[in-house]
Amino acid sequence: MRDNIAFLELKFGNIYGGYANFFAISDISLLVFDPSTNRIFIESLAINTDVDVVWVNSKTNELGHTIGRSRQVINLRTRRKRSFNEDFSLNEHELDRAFRNIRPTRRYIKSFFFKNFRKYNIRNIVTFDGKRDIFLCEKSGVEFRGTKIFDLQKALNKEFNYLFSLNKLGVAINSRFDDGYLQSNNQKYWIHPIAARQLRPRTAAWDAARMFLIYQEFNDYHDDFTMKSALLVNKIQKAKEAEEAIKAAEAAKEAAAKAAEEAANPTPPPEVEVAEVVEPTLVATESAPEVAVEGESDAAVGKKTEAEIKKMLEPELVAYANELGIPATEKDLKKDTLNKVLDKLGYNVKSV
């Protein structure tokens, strides 16, 4: 007689508004399979206490590939659900109250396992990535001494070098529950109506049932399981490549549209401010210097006294020299410009 095999699945979450790394068990399911009769038994425990926990649910596509995750808050007593607020937090008093409400549940969890281990003579437990599941059960006082624990995901990863999720494998083996029968590609098991009530999507019982079918397909129909799993992985890879190609095409289309818009409405270049350049006054070279008629230019310009001229600032002196017809700029030495003006006005002429 072969020993019964139990497939263990837990649902748990952290206390809403509490520590992110402290988890509380909300649901436990044990699917027990009797190989000698092909009978299936499902035992479940729903924790009933006034504590809000956060469930993290995966969003998957038709291939079982995870495309997102959502968070939902559920009260373990009323089972009412509400939206998750990331900024919500409990104060110290509220957190202590939540811990006090959780502590008594350990007794219920320990009693659930003790009763069913004896009832079904369980010596073999199968989990799927169940390291945390086992840890949380042990923290509640459950003892697994003398029990062989087999991690199905770990075994599949070792053989196929690919980390399968329960959702992907459920699609690969076509797991389903129809007309009272739990079915997959090559398996079909009748489920008692009372046990069948527990097989609802997103429940611990349904995950345990899918784990059982995957385990059976992997062991009893290994070649078919390998082929179907490889086909699924190939489909997922092609879907990823197609999605990336669509994104690249959309990006190229947007870039082309932007370039066409810029070509149709070109942006004018920014105006460049040109600094005003003061050009030096060009003086034509004459064969003989002009002799100013005494009093002619003085009267036209307005002759200033020698003292007034010497008090002028350089810009004023240059401007005055230009008015007198003397080529001069601010780049010239002030002394030279001054002597030219004084010579022009006759102030530098010495008496003989």
Q: Which residue has the higher pLDDT, 177 or 299?
A: 177
Given 205, 226, 243, the domain boundary residue is 243
Q: Which has more pLDDT, 331 or 318? A: 318
Amino acid 265: pLDDT: 82
Over residues 263-284, mean pLDDT: 62
pLDDT tens sequence across 28-45:
999 999 999 999 999 999
At residue 349 the predicted structure's pLDDT band, cuts being 50, 70 and 90, is low
The closest alpha carbon to 172, from 60, 67, 267, belongs to 60
The confidence band for 151, taking pLDDT boundaries of 50, 70 and 90, is very high
The answer to whether residues 81 and 227 belong to one domain is: yes
Residue 199 has pLDDT above 90, yes or no: yes
Structural domain of 323: 296-345
The average pLDDT across 114-119 equals 96
Residue 295 has pLDDT above 50, yes or no: no
What DSSP letter does each residue of 202-224 carry, written as one string?
TSHHHHHHHHHHHHHHHHHSHHH
Say yes or no: 119 and 186 in one domain. yes
pLDDT over threshold 50, residue 284: no
Judged against a pLDDT cut of 50, whether residue 186 lies above it is answered with: yes
- 249 found inside a domain: no
Residue 350 lies in a domain: no
**CATH code of the domain in which 129 resides:** 3.30.420
Amino acid at 107: R
**Is the pLDDT reported for residue 326 higher than 80?**
yes
Gap between the terminal Cα atoms of the chain: 150
Q: How confident is the model at residue 352 (pLDDT cuts 50, 70, 90)?
A: very low
Among 8-22, 69-83, 146-160, 333-347, which stretch is predicted with the lowest mean pLDDT?
333-347
pLDDT of residue 341: 81
CB atoms < 10 A from the CB of 84, how many? Answer: 14
The answer to whether 18 touches 98, Cβ cutoff 8 Å, is: yes
Residue 115 maps to a domain? yes
Assigned domain for 196 exists: yes
Do 332 and 218 lie in one domain? The reply is no
Q: Are residues 96 and 30 in the same domain?
A: yes
For residues 231-259, give the mean pLDDT.
89
Report which of residues 272 and 201 the model is more confident about. 201
Boundary (domain end) residue, out of 227, 243, 259: 243
Q: Rounded to whole angstroms, how far apart are CA atoms 140 and 25?
A: 9
Residue 49, domain member (yes or no): yes
pLDDT at 306: 82
Q: How confident is the model at residue 301 (pLDDT cuts 50, 70, 90)?
A: low
Tokens of 136: 């949380």
* CB 20 within 8 Å of CB 218: no
Separation in Å, CA 194 to CA 70, 175, 197 = 31, 20, 6
- Residue 285 domain-assigned? no
Same domain, 200 and 62: yes
Q: For position 275, what pLDDT does the model report?
A: 58
Check residue 297 and give its pLDDT. 47
Q: Is the pLDDT of residue 286 over 90?
A: no
Average pLDDT, stretch 232-260?
A: 89
Q: What is the pLDDT of residue 280?
A: 53
Question: Average pLDDT, stretch 83-98?
Answer: 94
Do 132 and 8 contact (CB within 8 A), yes or no?
no
pLDDT band at 288; cut points 50, 70, 90: very low
End of a domain among 209, 243, 277?
Answer: 243
Tally of structural domains, the chain: 2
Query: Using CA atoms, how far apart are residues 329 and 280, in angstroms rounded to an integer?
Result: 7
What is the predicted pLDDT for the residue at 289? 43
**202 in any annotated domain:** yes
CB 122 within 8 A of CB 116: yes
Q: Is residue 261 part of a domain?
A: no
**Same structural domain for residues 238 and 300?**
no
pLDDT digits 0-9 by tens, 155-164: 999 999 999 9
